[in-house]
Amino acid sequence: MKHYATVTVIGRDKTGVIARITAFLFAQKANIEALEEQVTRGQFSMTLQASWLAKALDRPAVEAGFESLGAELGMQVRARFTSAQQRQRGGILVSKEPHCLEGLIKAFKNKTLPADAAVVISNHRVLEPLANKAGLPFHYLSWEDRGEGEKEAVRILDEHQVDFVMLARFMKILSPQFVWHYKNKIINIHPSLLPSFPGAQAYRQAYEHGVKIAGVTAHFVDMHLDEGPIIAQSSFTVKPSMTLPQIIAAGQKLETSTLVKAVSLYLSKRLDVHWGTVREV
């Protein structure tokens, strides 16, 4: 049996960061299975997948070592540990609209999704009763200061040992730093057939452009708003007589099912992101 960890390193770029991290993991008898890094405007971000044979992992030593390295480098260095037998735990971010949260709760409850819902985080209190009814911890964050909001969200997700994140109509833009904490592990549902009509008014844009086919897109979140690798899409025909509220209602019926489908595909471990495109493997 193997143990796995996703290591994220975020901070101001400096020489030797990759060497320091990989040398430490080598000393801790880890096997490095994948590594991705980038530097944007002086900001260094790295995600690394490491594995250990069961008896080779000294988790306290690894965690203490990363804490020490983070202090020395002046960077955020984190590791999320999992094992092949461990069920995935998902965090749900929401704002005010209930339909996607309701659908996810139902899918987790009836085991359509082979994972556990761990926590609900929101920038409003509107959906707190829904989370409470489902027995899910609910955390309200004002998000007036994005940096502080994201920092607290990461802390809460870590506290609940979250492996992946679902944006169930969460109406806030996430920073690249937050996204790198969960590289290819944040799944969003967007109300249009991307790449058309990004942004918060997608249904209105579709209505104003007189499109004949509209729909929704579930995708991994990346550094660019509404441009992440596409996992699943659904569409419906726009009849000439349909009003904007009718288009919105038709789209919302698909949002939940498409988000659940995307999460199911993710959990099936049959997805690979290659050069910005999602492939089933």
Q: What angle do CA 274, 155, 219 make, to 5 degrees?
A: 25
- Full domain range(s) for residue 244: 89-280
Q: Are residues 131 and 68 in the same domain?
A: no
Residue 39 in tokens: 């530097």
- Domain ends where: 43, 60, 83? 83
The tens-digit pLDDT sequence of the chain (281 residues) is: 788 888 999 999 999 999 999 999 999 999 998 898 888 888 899 999 899 987 899 999 999 999 999 999 999 998 988 876 778 899 999 999 999 999 999 999 999 999 999 999 999 999 999 999 999 999 999 999 999 999 999 999 999 989 999 999 999 989 888 988 888 899 999 988 777 767 777 778 777 877 788 889 999 998 766 678 889 999 989 888 889 899 889 889 899 999 999 999 998 875 444 444 455 54
Tell me the per-residue pLDDT of 77-134, one tens digit each, with 9 for 90 and over. Answer: 989 888 767 788 999 999 999 999 999 999 999 999 999 999 999 999 999 999 999 9
Q: Which pLDDT value is given to residue 271?
A: 47
**Whether residue 204 is found in the same domain as residue 243:** yes
* 264 and 143, same domain (yes or no): yes
How many domains does the structure of the chain reveal? 2
pLDDT at 280: 56
Contacts of 123 (CB under 8 A, 6+ apart): 95, 140, 141, 142, 143, 149, 170, 171, 172
198, 248: one domain:
yes
Q: Where are the beta strands (DSSP E) in 54-202?
A: 76-83, 89-94, 116-122, 138-140, 164-167, 186-190
Handedness of CA 128, 110, 273, 9 (dihedral sign): positive
Asked whether residue 135 falls in the same domain as residue 258, the answer is yes
Instruction: Answer yes or no: do 64 and 132 share one domain.
Output: no
Of 20, 55, 83, which residue is a domain's last? 83
Are residues 41 and 106 located together in one domain of the fold?
Answer: no
176/196 same-domain check: yes
**Are 98 and 188 within one domain?**
yes
- Looking at the structure, tell me whether residues 215 and 158 fall in a common domain: yes
Cβ-proximal residues to 84 (8 Å cutoff; 6+ apart), any chain? 1, 2, 4
Residues 112 and 133 in one domain: yes
Question: Domain of 112: which CATH number?
Answer: 3.40.50.170
Determine the pLDDT at residue 84.
Answer: 66
Residue type, 270: R
pLDDT value of residue 159 = 92
CATH number at residue 35: 3.30.70.260
- Strand intervals (E) in the chain: 2-12, 31-40, 43-53, 76-83, 89-94, 116-122, 138-140, 164-167, 186-190, 213-220, 230-237, 271-274, 277-280
Query: Strand pairing partners for 93?
Result: 121, 167
Q: Which of 42, 60, 83 is the last residue of a domain?
A: 83
170 touches 93 (CB < 8 A)? yes
* 50 plus 104 within the same structural domain: no
Catalytic residues: 226
Over the stretch 247-266, which tens digit does the pLDDT of each residue have?
889 889 899 999 999 999 99
